[in-house]
Amino acid sequence: NAGVTQTPKFRVLKTGQSMTLLCAQDMNHEYMYWYRQDPGMGLRLIHYSVGEGTTAKGEVPDGYNVSRLKKQNFLLGLESAAPSQTSVYFCASKLGGPNTEAFFGQGTRLTVV
């Protein structure tokens, strides 16, 4: 049972390049989330999905897009990367709403130069 798997684990981008981060979970969870983690700050919500085919904006959505075409996958896209998007990105999934346990991926360390 792999849990939550993120790919890639590391990436360096040049300003203006695009990329897609993949999050895959094998627990049949409905809810999936993308967070970013920056020094001195708590994790912040970028986008989330409460089911296949649905997505919504979180606290810091600008510069990112997401898709949830399949229940097990949640993709985070950067169309034109900026240095401000240098961060560690975490995907998480949950079976349901507020009072359910969250499962996290290993993180993707992204550097935009």
Partner 1 sequence: KNEVEQSPQNLTAQEGEFITINCSYSVGISALHWLQQHPGGGIVSLFMLSSGKKKHGRLIATINIQEKHSSLHITASHPRDSAVYICAGPGGSQGNLIFGKGTKLSVKP
Q: Which is nearer to partner 1, 17 or 65 (CB)?
A: 65
Q: Binding of partner 1 at residue 60 (CB under 8 A)?
A: no
Cα–chain center distance at 109: 12
Cα–Cα dist 66/3, whole Å: 20
Range list of H helices, 1-113: none
Of positions 50, 60, 65, 67, contacts partner 1 by CB under 8 A = 50
Q: Which is nearer to partner 1, 53 or 96 (CB)?
A: 96
Residue 91 Cβ vs partner 1, minimum distance, rounded to whole Å: 10
Binding segment toward partner 1, per CB under 8 A, in 11-19, 20-28, 37-45, 74-82: 37-45
Cα–Cα dist 95/26, whole Å: 11
Please identify which residue in the block is written with the tokens 């097990």.
72
